[in-house]
Amino acid sequence: MKRNNLRIFLIIEAVICTILAFMMENPADSFITIMSFPFAQIGEGLRALSLSGISGNIAAIVIYAALCILPVIYLIIRKRKGRAHIEDGLLVIISLLLFVVIYMMINPVDIAIHFGNVVFMDSYKGFMGAAVYSVIAGYIIIRVLRQFLQCGTDDMLRYLKILLSVVCAFLIYRIFASGLSGLKQSFSLLAAQNTDGGGFTETLPLDSLFAAENSEGGLFLSYVFLAIQYLVDILPYAFNIIIIFTTLALLDALEKDSYSQEVTTWAQKTGGVCRIAILAIMLSQIVVNILQLALGSLIRSSYYTLNIPLLSVIFMLVVMLFAKYFEKARELKNENDSII
């Protein structure tokens, strides 16, 4: 995916995730909704079609069987072309899971019987969808690993771009869906726990916020720090996205010419962004913790963190390592050319 197209896709995803975050009452709802899609919708549609009459019932059975057997058909096609490998056996498992999951989505009573509770019906649908997606994800990742082993450098760069694009999409979800819904829940929890403390509730007009700050037990500062904590929490994700875009530019330069000045330039930029990111992540936590400590009881919802984002830091350090490698490779190439 081109970088401009990826930007557009991520912006659209961010908007959708933000809408979902404010629509969902619980942060887990967005996960459940995503995991149950499209299985719950297919089940509801086939159920309605089945109840429409005899012909509708027959059509529903045919569509149900055709959808569930698609992975097996894909396996047969791959086998005939001589491209099937041991991991393609997961396609059979996916097909079997689809038969079970979609059938239970068509007949929600079976979900309640199987799990023994009708109250958390939507959650159970999400769990079943997650089971299917976990097998699909496993199959795709194993296929990608095999491709990595068999492909050349150019193909590997292309697959790496796809992988980084997927990581970007996941990070956007963490920032705008998971993160915002968590912030919204924190706001609601703070208001509920301090309804008798002179603070404001969610229904209080916005122009009363500053008045609440000056009242005894005012919650304005607490809300501010919850928002600040949210920004601190998502900072590693935001920097990872920036680093991924500079890395994608570096990969584009590598595809054109591995020893060009453009490679060196983007390698230096990527390394610089990584250094800034690590400093910003650690300093932001230090500043927020010290401010909360200084303000003490003025904040009703303190959240002290010693959160070292190891995965983000490791990712940034690996990118810095590769950036240095590309810089050194170009220097050696220039030295060899000058000797020749």
Mean pLDDT of the chain: 81
How much is the pLDDT for 325? 75
Q: Which domain holds residue 246?
A: 17-26+179-340
User: pLDDT-based confidence at 26, cuts 50/70/90?
Assistant: low
Both tokens of 164, joined, read 């980084």
Both tokens of 113, joined, read 């019987």
Phi, psi dihedral angles at 53 (to 5 degrees): 150, 180
What is the C-alpha separation between 1 and 13, in angstroms, rounded? Answer: 15
Kindly state whether residue 333 falls inside one of the protein's structural domains: yes
The closest of 217, 219, 196 to 209, measured between CA atoms, is: 219
Taking a C-beta distance cutoff of 8 angstroms, is the pair 229, 218 a contact? no
User: pLDDT-based confidence at 217, cuts 50/70/90?
Assistant: very low
Query: What percent of the chain stands above pLDDT 90?
Result: 31
166 residue type, one letter: V
The more confidently predicted of residues 249 and 189 is 249
How much is the pLDDT for 98? 96
Q: Report how many domains make up the chain.
A: 1
The contacts of residue 160 (CB under 8 Å, 6+ apart) are 251
Half-sphere exposure of 110 (CA within 13 A, CB side): 10
Cα 51 from chain centroid? 38
The closest of 311, 313, 291 to 302, measured between CA atoms, is: 291
Kindly state whether residue 133 falls inside one of the protein's structural domains: no
The string of pLDDT tens digits covering residues 104-146 is: 999 999 998 888 887 888 888 999 999 999 999 999 889 888 8
Both tokens of 30, joined, read 């967005």
Kindly state whether residue 91 falls inside one of the protein's structural domains: no
CA angle, residues 203, 192, 185, in degrees to nearest 5: 85
What is the C-alpha separation between 338 and 340, in angstroms, rounded? Answer: 5
What is the C-alpha separation between 97 and 231, in angstroms, rounded? Answer: 39
Kindly state whether residue 143 falls inside one of the protein's structural domains: no
Kindly state whether residue 173 falls inside one of the protein's structural domains: no
Mean pLDDT of 152-164: 79
Kindly state whether residue 127 falls inside one of the protein's structural domains: no
Omega cis (within 30) before 38: yes
With the C-alpha atoms ordered 95, 96, 101, 107, is the resulting torsion angle positive or negative? positive
pLDDT surpassing 80 at residue 94: yes
Kindly state whether residue 209 falls inside one of the protein's structural domains: yes
Both tokens of 270, joined, read 């990527």
Kindly state whether residue 231 falls inside one of the protein's structural domains: yes
The more confidently predicted of residues 288 and 319 is 288
The answer to whether the predicted template modeling score (pTM) of the entire model surpasses 0.75 is: no
Half-sphere exposure of 153 (CA within 13 A, CB side): 7
